[in-house]
Each structure stands twice: as C-alpha cells, then as structure tokens.
Amino acid sequence: AMDSDLSSQDRKDLDKFIKFFALKTVQVIVQARLGEKICTRSSSSPTGSDWFNLAIKDIPEVTHEAKKALAGQLPAVGHSMCVEISLKTSEGDSMELEIWCLEMNEKCDKEIKVSYTVYNRLSLLLKSLLAITRVTPAYRLSRKQGHEYVILYRIYFGEVQLSGLGEGFQTVRVGTVGTPVGTITLSCAYRINLAFMSTRQFERTPPILGIIIDHFVDRPYPSSSPMHPCNYRAGEDNGAVYPSVEDSQEACTTSFSTSPPSQCVFTVTKAHFQTPSPVVTDTLKVPVMGLAFSHQLSSSRLSCQPATLAVGSADMGYPVLFAGGLNAAHPHQLMGPGKDGGVPPMTSQPAHGTQADQERMCTPLDGVHYSAATPSSSEDTETISNSSEGKCGSPHDFLEAIFIRKVGAFVNKPINQVTMANLDIPFAMFAPKNVELEDPNPMVNPPDSPETESPLQGSLHSECSSDSSAGNTHDDFVMIDFKPAFSKDDILPMDLGTFYREFQNPPQLSSLSIDIGAQSMAEDLDSLPEKLAVHEKNVREFDAFVETLQ
C-alpha cells in the first residue's frame, strides 16, 4: 500500500539511486581513510557514468566488498549498511574508531520527486559526507598511518553495532534525504576515548624498520574481527575477479527537465554497454584508474622490465600508477598520447572516458620507445603480445589480463594459482608467509614474492624477516604498492620505484650489530667525563645560543 503511489519506473529508479548511493558512500569513506589526499577533476561535459554528478572514483575492491556485504539488498528499516573503521597497531592491537551508518527509517515523503529532488539531495548528501569525513578524529589518524599502525575498514549489513567504540562515543549526523519509501540517514559514531593512543604519540615515533614511508599508502582492508560477522569467504576469488564491471559502471545519464514540473525525464542508459567491445574499452580506463594505485609491478628485479611505472597526470593530483609493463605496445593503451622523453602522463581526462578517449586509448603512441622491451614470461603477457600489434587487439583479453594481474595483488591465493610469473611485491616481508589464512577474510594478502628472483633478494628477505618483529603480525593488511611520487619512467629501463625496491633492504650496517655496538658503547661511556668537562667550559656560549632561540 505504501508503494502504490510510486510508479514502477520511479520505484526502480529509486532503488537504483539508493544502491549506487550506498556504493558511493562506501567509496568516499574508505578513500578518506587511505591516508592520502584525494583529488578528482571536474568535467563540464557529462560523461554519463558519474553518479550524482560527482567525480568519485570507484576502487573496485571496495565496490566488491560493499556489494558482497549488501548481497543484493538495500538499506531498509533494521537493515543498515555500516562501514567500520578501525586501527591496528604493529603489535596487533586493534581498536574501532568509527562506524558510519547508512540507515533507512519509516518516515516517508510521498510528495517528493524521485528522479529529481531525491537525486539532487543524495548528491548533496555525498558532498556533506566528503566534508564530514575530514573532520572526525580518525581522519588525522589515517593521514599518519603507516609507521606504527594502519587503518582498516569493514563493511557489514544488518544491525548497527556500536559497542566497540568505547564509552562516551560521539555521533555526528551527515544528513538525511526523504524518499517515498523512507528517509535515508547517514551518520557517524566515533570513539573519543583514544586515551592510549594520541596522534602525537605517532608523530614523534620514527618509522620502524627504517623503511621510508614518505609515499607509502596503506590500503585498508577488512579486518577479520571475530566479534562481527563478516560474510567474506576465502577462496571465492577466481581469475575473473570483479566480473561485474559493467554493472558497476552503469551509465547514469541523467536528464532533467525544467518544463512542466511534473515531467521529469530521467534516463538511465546502458547504451554504452550493450556491445562487448565498447563495454570493455569504455570501462577499461576506469578499473585501471581505480586500481592503478594498487597495481602490482610486473618487473622482475634484475631484468629491469620496461615501463613498469608511470605516474598519472599531476593534474589528477592523485598519485596514480599504471603498471604498463607487459609489452612495449601496451602501456600506451593505458595512457593518453605523450610527448618525448619518458612515459607520458595521463591526459587530463576525467576518470570516465568518453568515446574520444576510447579511440585515443587504442592507438599506440608514436615516438615513445621503451628499451629492453622484453615481455615478461608470464602467460598473460603472451596473450597480450600475441593479440595485438598496433591496435587495440582484443580488448577483452587485455581487460582480462589486467584483471588477472590485479587478482595477484589482492587474492588470497598462492602465487602458482595466478598466472603471473614475475609477481613482485614490495614490503613482501609483511605479507603472511602462509597464504592460506585461518581467517576467512583476507581480502588483500598477496602471495609471497618469488624469492628465487635474485640471490640478493633472497638474502635480504631472510635477514629482514628475522629482525622485524612486526612483520609477521601484519596478517590483515598489506602494503600493496610503492608509489614513488614524481617518478617518471624515462628511457632508462630502471626507474625510481624499481630502484627503490631493489635496494630497500640493504644489509645491516656492521656498526649497528650488537657486538660492535657494545664495544663502542663502552668507549663512549669512558669518554663521557672528558666531554662533560669540555662542555662545562663552554657553558656560557651554550647559554647565549639558547637565548637566541627564545
């Protein structure tokens, strides 16, 4: 009876809006906790795939997790979608920081226009969410993550559970939107009792293990907290991970009408996606963009595979990495036309391509050469190199190959189940050694990096893993990728990222080893009285110096 006033088209539209609103909500929240600044471009031409007229990227894994949690349902009374943000220290302690709740209550607004007012208000609500996600305490914590802790997320659907937030948690309301079937509310409950960890504590602590974390960004992944049911099941990943690319990129070409107010023309077209090829090439850009920052590098350490790293356009403001190192021809497909000297930056296009972009993408670049363009020996590379020279070839294969690569980053499978021979993971010491985890929730545990790649590699790993106490406890998070900012891929085959990964774990300095350390300590202690005497003599100079500082 409640729905009798709502036309079936309106109802369908409304359900679709709510579904995509939920997915975008999750994206905004998770992206706000990645620890990096987000930047997306405005585009004056509607691209047809930016829901709610906002440029919010879709990280495919996040969409996947959200869809799994929702399992085809929509937020309804008593069935809320929750995104839980928690912090996990290097010692393995974890703490819930926030719960973001997307709820539905029974208060209906029958008069409201679905395809117009509701849509615009949902857009406004997403903007509010963008603003509010930066003002809760967890934002600042997440910007400083990486040294001693990481931020994780978990999505669940059902009853809201706030008990993990400690006493006295606070709530902030992001906003509400009335619809004919109920009122959508979005709010955040956040812990304020951060007594045992203040942000300042983490600021002062130097990085552990001597790893430079400047551009380190951790990808938060669902934790496997036993307290909350999480319906992620291991082993469900297969080669065609995230097959519903088309689904997640449903066009939302919206047209609004200003003539008679009752006439609201709203079209959701899937026209772009009706034929397989356009689907793939159109969406090719998006998943790559979305996942690019977490893309695995395909090079082996010693052979310096070409074009392994390219940094996306600075215009994007979003350090985006493309692993184009499959074959000399193929990196071009990921990038716009370039100039001389190195990998061209991504042209300033919005994340969602238009028809023109498709064409541009398919044309290999002229004048950009990669030396040592030997494809890696993995199967998928063979597929690609066979499938095209100088043209798009089979976009489907290419897309598949991309996805297969991506699977390697996140899938909880031993490496031999993935067709990537040269998977090379930075910070692999933090990945669990045994890939089958007890927890059924390992979204992102990459396989170990192949230790046979180089003798240097092997010895470094064994040294480091024995020294690092933190490494083995990082079961639930993975350092996915190392993205050196401003690292352009020049004509040289070796770029900064590769270089860094090569040499990131140098052997211990001898002066730091225990024996020598103890010796010099003894010497130091002996020389102390002399040093003190010298300083005493110069005390006046020191005092004068201190004065100048004040």
Partner 1 sequence: PHRTRRPAPPGAASAMNCRAEVLEVSVEGRQVEEAILAVLHTVLLHRSTGKFHYKKEGTYSIGTVGTQDVDCDFIDFAYVRVSSEELDRALRKAVGEFKDALRNSGSDGMGQISLEFYQKKKSRWPFSDECIPWELWTIKVNVVNLANEQERQICREKVGEKLCEKIINIVEVMNRHEYLPKMPTQSEVDNVFDTSLKDVQPYLYKISYQITDSLGTSVTTTMRRLIKDTLAL
Task: In angstroms, give the least distance from the CB of 267 to partner 1.
Answer: 9
Q: Of the ranges 139-147, 156-164, 278-286, 436-444, which one interacts with partner 1 (CB under 8 A)?
A: 139-147
Q: Which of 236, 243, 240, 235 is nearest to 380 (CA)?
A: 240
Query: What does the alpha-carbon distance between residue 358 and residue 284 come to, in Å, rounded to a whole number?
Result: 9
Q: Which of 406, 421, 380 is nearest to 293 (CA)?
A: 406
Whether the CB-CB separation of 223 and 198 falls below 8 Å is answered with no
One residue of 89, 94, 95, 112 binding partner 1 per CB under 8 A = 112
Per-residue binder mask for partner 1 (CB under 8 A), 377-416, x = binder: ----------------------------------------
One residue of 127, 144, 215, 228 binding partner 1 per CB under 8 A = 127
Query: What does the alpha-carbon distance between residue 161 and residue 19 come to, in Å, rounded to a whole number?
Result: 22
A 10 A CB-CB count for 123 gives 18
Q: Which is nearer to partner 1, 113 or 488 (CB)?
A: 113
174 part of the interface to partner 1, by CB under 8 A: yes
User: How big is the site for partner 1, counted in residues (CB under 8 A)?
Assistant: 48
274-333 residues in contact with partner 1 (CB under 8 A) are 317
529 burial type by CB count under 10 A (0-12 exposed, 13-18 middle, 19+ buried) = exposed
Name the 3-class secondary structure at 104: strand
19 part of the interface to partner 1, by CB under 8 A: no
47 part of the interface to partner 1, by CB under 8 A: yes
466 part of the interface to partner 1, by CB under 8 A: no
Q: Which is nearer to partner 1, 143 or 396 (CB)?
A: 143
Q: Which of 117, 151, 118, 112 is nearest to 133 (CA)?
A: 151
One residue of 175, 210, 337, 440 binding partner 1 per CB under 8 A = 175
491 part of the interface to partner 1, by CB under 8 A: no
One residue of 12, 78, 93, 135 binding partner 1 per CB under 8 A = 135
Q: What contacts 225, CB < 8 A, 6 or more positions away?
A: 86, 94, 154
Task: In angstroms, give the least distance from the CB of 292 to partner 1.
Answer: 17
Beta 170-179 vs 94-105: how paired, if at all? Answer: unpaired
Task: In angstroms, give the least distance from the CB of 83 to partner 1.
Answer: 18
372 part of the interface to partner 1, by CB under 8 A: no
Q: What contacts 272, CB < 8 A, 6 or more positions away?
A: 48, 49, 251, 278, 279, 282
Q: What contacts 508, CB < 8 A, 6 or more positions away?
A: 463, 467
194 part of the interface to partner 1, by CB under 8 A: no
One residue of 4, 8, 37, 544 binding partner 1 per CB under 8 A = 37
50 part of the interface to partner 1, by CB under 8 A: yes
Q: Of the ranges 50-58, 280-288, 426-434, 519-527, which one interacts with partner 1 (CB under 8 A)?
A: 50-58
Side-chain-facing half-sphere of 141: CA atoms under 13 Å: 26
Q: Which is nearer to partner 1, 68 or 285 (CB)?
A: 285
Query: What does the alpha-carbon distance between residue 423 and residue 446 come to, in Å, rounded to a whole number?
Result: 9
Q: What contacts 468, CB < 8 A, 6 or more positions away?
A: 208, 209, 429
498 part of the interface to partner 1, by CB under 8 A: no
One residue of 109, 400, 451, 467 binding partner 1 per CB under 8 A = 109
411-440 residues in contact with partner 1 (CB under 8 A) are none
456 burial type by CB count under 10 A (0-12 exposed, 13-18 middle, 19+ buried) = middle
Side-chain-facing half-sphere of 373: CA atoms under 13 Å: 12
One residue of 259, 275, 511, 548 binding partner 1 per CB under 8 A = 259
Residues that bind partner 1 (CB under 8 A): 37-47, 50, 53-55, 109, 111-112, 117, 121, 124-125, 127-128, 130-132, 134-136, 139-140, 143, 172-176, 253-259, 265, 317, 350
